[in-house]
Amino acid sequence: MHAELTKLLVLQAKDLALFETDLRLKAIADQLSTLSAQLEAAGRDLIVAKKRLDDGVKRREDLEVRIDSYRTIQDRRRQRLEVVKGAREAQAVMTEVEMARTVLVREEGEWVKVAEGVHDCERGVKAVEDRIAQLEADQAPERERLNAELAELESTRAAERAARDASATEVERSLRMRYDRLRAARSVAVVVALRGEACGSCFTSVPRHRRAQIRAGEMLDNCEACGVILYAEEILE
């Protein structure tokens, strides 16, 4: 048996375990991201709802200023009406008063509509805030579970990485470099057993003389088609 084969297989087993842990970590991160995305979407809805409320409040305040101004003008016109002497002048003032009253009624009607809209916006903001609070409450147990699992997996990964690095130092340097190059391009096993006369990864036929050398443990050869490092399972028995 090739002297480095067992070390290489141990290293590969640790790399595959590390890869599985990374997949689990990514799955948890994706789940947490989905939960966060739900909250972010609700947060954007709240921003929109508050903007509508702010716009409505400003519109209502602007109308209140205008209505107060119209009322002040009306009061002055009524005061003028009390002191005018001629019928023509009185009629002119009365016309102004009536026109201003019409404008005032219209503005007050608009204020009522805007005030109702503000009330609706306030209810809308409250509804979104309640929805966010409920969403946070609903997510809390799942987030707690996922964060606990994440912390455990991160600890596991740190230990697996340390064990992997320790195993890597035991493999002959040039062989480890071959192996690392393959691992950089593939997430699956790169040290693969022969399957009959073929590569166990891509099932391409391996020439007889090379198979004989591999089975004799004389070499760790690469598959000419897919590049994996080939070995014979029987030499491990």
Closest CA to 190 of 174, 198, 202: 202
128 and 222 together in one domain: no
pLDDT on residue 71: 84
Q: Domain for residue 85, yes or no?
A: yes
Q: Two tokens at 138?
A: 């609903």
Tell whether 163 and 200 lie within a shared domain. no
| Number of domains the chain contains | 2
Instruction: Indicate whether 193 and 82 sit together in one domain.
Output: no
* Residue 1: predicted pLDDT: 53
Looking at the fold, whether 129 and 35 belong to one and the same domain comes out as: yes
Q: What is the pLDDT of residue 237?
A: 59
Q: Last residue of a domain, which of 112, 136, 170? A: 170
Q: Would you write out the chain's pLDDT as a tens digit for each of its 237 residues?
A: 567 899 999 999 999 999 999 999 999 999 999 999 999 999 999 999 999 999 999 999 999 998 988 888 777 777 776 777 777 777 776 777 788 788 888 889 999 999 999 999 999 999 999 999 999 999 999 999 999 999 999 999 999 999 999 999 999 999 999 999 999 988 889 999 999 999 999 999 999 999 998 888 888 889 999 999 999 987 765
Domain boundary among 170, 201, 228: 170
Both 35 and 132 in one domain: the answer is yes
pLDDT given for residue 22 in this prediction: 95
Yes or no: say if 67 and 108 are a contact pair by the CB < 8 Å rule.
yes
Pair 223, 127 in one domain: no
Q: In 10 A of CB 213, how many CB atoms?
A: 16
CA distance linking residue 14 with residue 130, whole number of Å: 48
Q: What is the pLDDT of residue 38?
A: 96
In a domain, 115, yes or no: yes
> 122 and 198: one domain?
no
Q: Do 112 and 205 fall within a single domain?
A: no
Domain that holds residue 166: 20-170
Question: What per-residue confidence (pLDDT) applies to 86?
Answer: 73
Q: Does 35 share its domain with 126?
A: yes
Is the residue at 14 inside a domain?
no
My answer on whether 152 and 39 are in the same domain is: yes
Same domain, 208 and 140: no
Answer yes or no: is 8 within a domain: no
CA distance 37 to 189: 35
Same domain, 62 and 106: yes
Residue 27 in domain: yes
